[in-house]
Amino acid sequence: MLRVPRILLIDPLDNARKTLAERLHLQGFIVTECRDGAEGAVLALEDPPAAVIADLSMPSISGVQLCRLLKAEGGTAHVPVVLRGPEGRRNQFWSEQCGASAYVVKGRMGQLVRALRSAIERTEATSSGGDFFVQSSAEGLDVRDRIASHLDAALFDSVVAAELRRLGTSESFDRLIDLLSQFVSQVSTYRWLAVTRNRPARAAVHTNSACRDSSVGQMRAALGVANDVPIFLVEDDDAVSDLSGPDPIIEPIPFGEQVLGTFALAPCTEGHMHDHLLVKTIARELGAALRMASLVEESRLMATTDALTGLVNRRAFSDWALREQRRTQRYQDALSVILLDVDHFKHINDRFGHAAGDLVLGAVARLLMAGIRNCDVVARWGGEEFVLALPSTPLSGAREVAERARRALESANIVTDQGQQIPVTASFGVAQLDPHETLEQLVDRADRAMYVAKSSGRNRVECAPDATGAAA
């Protein structure tokens, strides 16, 4: 004996509902009528029908909200929903977005019946064991509370998504994480949160200062972050200072078909579904903001970095050095610069080729970077010239730095792809900033000292006289 499909019909207009119910009876359906969206959700959850017909606009909850609720519940996830309303592409779009099986313009009875039969046949074909009906998960619970809970979750999802989209203007990875931690700490309690970015590799952790090392260690272990990956730390009391707790909740951060990184939250208590929803929503929405911040950083890096050596370029160095010059003169501190030029660089290019010349410039850059402090700056000044700025360093200290760099270059083992050894030396000019001297005057004195080093036989360090002409 064939099973007669039972349809749940929800329409707030009594006359229209009864007319449609009679038409559906004639088409061979059993019809349960209802005028309110929330009431219809209760009926569907308590006894799932073969299909639901609902108006797009109804009292209490809309057809879109009803559809989302039924799809989220295990007992009704399989039940097809056909939404009805006025003609319009926007109505069709929202029906598709909420998971409705079809959207039918009111008054088109033939289209409605075809959509119903097609949806029911698809559901019966995919249901396991031929058992169409599934036990509802609403038993023992207040179904209206379940509806309210689902709608609250939908609202929570939309609010979190909106907040995450605002982070698209962060313009840097570090600022993005700072703003993200400020938001998440308002809606959740956690020991730490972390974001990793795959390219270029970065990681960030928001934690309480009291358990910073523990949080970073847990993050590295949970997310597989290598020890050489740089980590940006946000430390404040918004994160709880517990040293232990449940395993972190981890979600990949998608952007289109790519995975940009990972978002993780280490909760304070076990099994809070709010935290799982929060992590999923953040990971889903964070991709666009993370990508935008990375693009801005990349563009800034290209504008301030020398492509061949990876050092800051002349313009970026000048901008930084100008600020440092003002700070030095304001606080009566010391600032020295070293200007150096690779000796016989044209001969290196002529003998070994321009690829070897590029190899030498890259090696010089690495050697200079290896011999400085974190507060020092090395830049490519142009061609085969490099410049170093040493804050809080007098002339004597700068001369020692230059001499160490000279010896390192002289003994460097730079070899071409063909195994040819390239001898490299450089001539250095050193100068210390005098009171009331401009940055251009300081660099000019270092340049003249470097010229003295070259004219005196190369591979040597010369210090510039001070701005008054007195010998160093």
Answer whether the bond into residue 200 is a cis peptide, omega within 30°. yes
DSSP-derived 3-state class of residue 367: helix
DSSP-derived 3-state class of residue 232: strand
Q: Taking the C-alpha atoms of 207, 213, 216 and 221 in order, what is their torsion angle to the nearest 10 degrees? A: -140
The token duo for 98 is 């909420």
124 included as an active-site residue: no
* Phi, then psi, of 49 in degrees rounded to 5: -85, 180
**Which of these, 228, 221, 211, 288, lies nearest to 255 by C-alpha position?**
288
C-beta separation of 391 from 336 below 8 A:
no
Q: Determine which one of 324, 384, 437, 462 is catalytic.
A: 384
Cα separation, 192 vs 185, whole angstroms: 10
**Which of these, 267, 290, 277, lies nearest to 203 by C-alpha position?**
290
Cα separation, 359 vs 415, whole angstroms: 9
DSSP-derived 3-state class of residue 337: strand
**DSSP class of residue 305?**
B
Which residues make Cβ contacts (< 8 Å) with residue 66, sequence separation at least 6?
10, 37, 40, 41, 52, 54, 58, 81
Phi and psi based region of residue 396 (left: phi greater than 0; alpha: psi -120 to 50; beta: remaining)? alpha
C-beta separation of 260 from 282 below 8 A:
no
Cα separation, 192 vs 243, whole angstroms: 10
Beta strands in 244-310 (DSSP E): 249-255, 258-267
Tally of CB atoms within 10 A around 445: 25
C-beta separation of 430 from 402 below 8 A:
yes
Q: Which residues are catalytic?
A: 384
